[in-house]
Amino acid sequence: MFNAVVMMITLGAVLGLLLGIAGKFFHVEIDTRVEQITGMLPGLNCGACGFPGCEGLATALVSGEAKSPTLCKPSTPAHRERITAFMETGIDPKASAHSH
């Protein structure tokens, strides 16, 4: 019985260590611009733009696959202008207006 407990603790420690190493080795950097643009979209995830939801459109805008936020049919002109300004400058005009 004691050997089984020691074996399970050892196995758990080794597997935990391997998972920790794999997590560091296979870490993927996420482009924060995708999250920011997704937050600027209406959030309906309707797919009318031809991409799978708002995050799909945001990813396409950041990668250059989609050229304009006008693909988002339910967005308002204010949404589109905000996204366009953010893509050109890298600064959210709405957030910078609140910081002053």
Domain definitions of the chain by residue range: 1-29, 32-98
Mean pLDDT of the chain: 91
Ranges 52-61, 79-88, 90-99: which has the least confidence? 90-99
pTM of the model: 0.69
Considering only the top CATH level, what class is 32-98? mainly alpha
If you search the block for the tokens 């089984």, which residue do you land on? 4
Distance, in Å, from the CA atom of 75 to the CA atom of 83, rounded to the nearest integer, reads 11
Give the pLDDT score at 98.
56
Contact 74, 42 (CB under 8 A): yes
Looking at residues 20-34, what average pLDDT do you find? Answer: 91
Each residue's pLDDT tens digit, 36-59: 999 999 999 999 999 999 999 999
The letter for the amino acid at 73 is: K
Q: Strand, helix or coil at 31?
A: coil
Choice between 23 and 97, residue whose per-residue pLDDT is larger: 23
